[in-house]
Amino acid sequence: MERGDIILIGATTENPSFEVISALLSRSRVYALRLLSVPELTTLLRRALPVVHLEATDDLLEQIAIYSNGDARQAYNTLEAAAAPRRVCSPKPRSKMPSSAKCCSTTKAARSTST
The highest-confidence range among 27-31, 32-36, 77-81, 97-101, by mean pLDDT, is 77-81
The enclosing H or E element of 55 equals strand 54-55
pLDDT of residue 111: 40
Give SS3 for 10. Answer: coil
- CA gap 81, 99 in Å, rounded: 14
pLDDT digits (tens, 9 = 90+) for 11-67: 777 888 888 888 888 888 888 888 999 999 999 999 999 999 889 999 999 999 999
- CA gap 72, 37 in Å, rounded: 10
In a domain, 74, yes or no: yes
Domain of residue 53: give its range.
38-96
In a domain, 87, yes or no: yes
In a domain, 78, yes or no: yes
pLDDT of residue 87: 59
Share of the chain above pLDDT 90, in %: 37
How many folded domains does the chain comprise? 1
In a domain, 29, yes or no: no
In a domain, 17, yes or no: no
- Please indicate, yes or no, whether the overall pTM of this predicted structure exceeds 0.85: no
How far is C-alpha 29 from the geometric centre of its chain's CA atoms?
26
